[in-house]
Amino acid sequence: MFIRTKRLFLRPAWPEDWQELHAAMSDERIVRNFTRIPWPYTPEDAQLTVSRHQDLRYPGFLVTLPSARGSRVIGGAGLHADGALTEFGFWVAPDSWGCGYATEASSAVVRLARTLGHRQLVASPFVDDRASARVLEKVGFQPTNRSKERHSRARGGAFTTREYAVTFGSASDCDDGLPVNPAEADMRAA
């Protein structure tokens, strides 16, 4: 599964991506905001990540930035099952912060989740990760007023997260004219 947005191309990870993924994820500023990513992030972790089977109901994407010189990995976004919940997550490499890429990629994946028939998505950033909370709010997530302690390997312990959720009325196709937010008007899923 692939998604093209105005500036980005979201695609599955391929085995040959492991070195680029490792380089991007070897920054503690990224990994400290995840619960499941090991720290330090090793070459073996990157190889395991790119070798994982893609679940069509819970896709994961590398976020790439196409240019005349090729395409480079600048982040990731995706869905995964967490019990009965569908959890959404994303990251962007520090050299691409402040460009709106996290919002653009997140909008695309949220819209795809609705298309796939998910009724609700949840995300739980750490309470001190205000940048991620702002991105979630921009793409339609609302605070649920629930929080919980979650372990982070990079932080070295359990820290408080705040839950956000977005609920969809019904499944839709990609061309229904009802984007999750107006910035998505130019998105096309392939």
Instruction: Give residue-wise pLDDT tens across range 120-134.
Output: 999 999 999 999 999
* pLDDT classification of 36: cutoffs 50, 70, 90: confident
Mean pLDDT, rounded, of the chain: 91
What's CA 84's distance to the chain center, in Å? 19
Top pLDDT among 145 and 171 is at 145
3-class DSSP state for residue 52? coil
Determine what percent of the chain is predicted with pLDDT higher than 90. Answer: 84
- Select from 23, 61, 14, 27 the least CA-distant residue to 43: 23
Dmax over Cα atoms in the chain, in whole Å? 45
User: Where do the domains of the chain lie?
Assistant: 3-173
Q: State whether CATH 3.40.630.30 applies to domain 3-173.
A: yes
Per-residue pLDDT, 190: 42
Exposure class string for 46-85: b at 16+ Cβ within 10 A, else e: beebbeeeeeeebbbbbbbbeeeeeeebbbbbbbeeeeee
- Select from 12, 167, 184, 175 the least CA-distant residue to 107: 184
Residue 101 has pLDDT above 70, yes or no: yes
3-class DSSP state for residue 25? helix
* pLDDT classification of 188: cutoffs 50, 70, 90: very low
Rounded Cα–Cα distance for residues 115 and 128 (Å): 31
Rounded Cα–Cα distance for residues 13 and 15 (Å): 7
Per-residue pLDDT, 142: 98
Average pLDDT for 111-125:
97
Top pLDDT among 6 and 177 is at 6
The pTM for the full model equals 0.88
Determine what percent of the chain is predicted with pLDDT higher than 70. Answer: 89
Tell me the C-alpha to C-alpha distance, in Å, between residue 184 and each of 72, 90, 91, 151, 188: 22, 17, 19, 33, 9
Residue 103 has pLDDT above 60, yes or no: yes
Residue 163 has pLDDT above 80, yes or no: yes
Residue 13 has pLDDT above 90, yes or no: yes
CB 6 within 8 A of CB 132: no
Per-residue pLDDT, 187: 43
Residue 186 has pLDDT above 70, yes or no: no
* pLDDT classification of 172: cutoffs 50, 70, 90: low
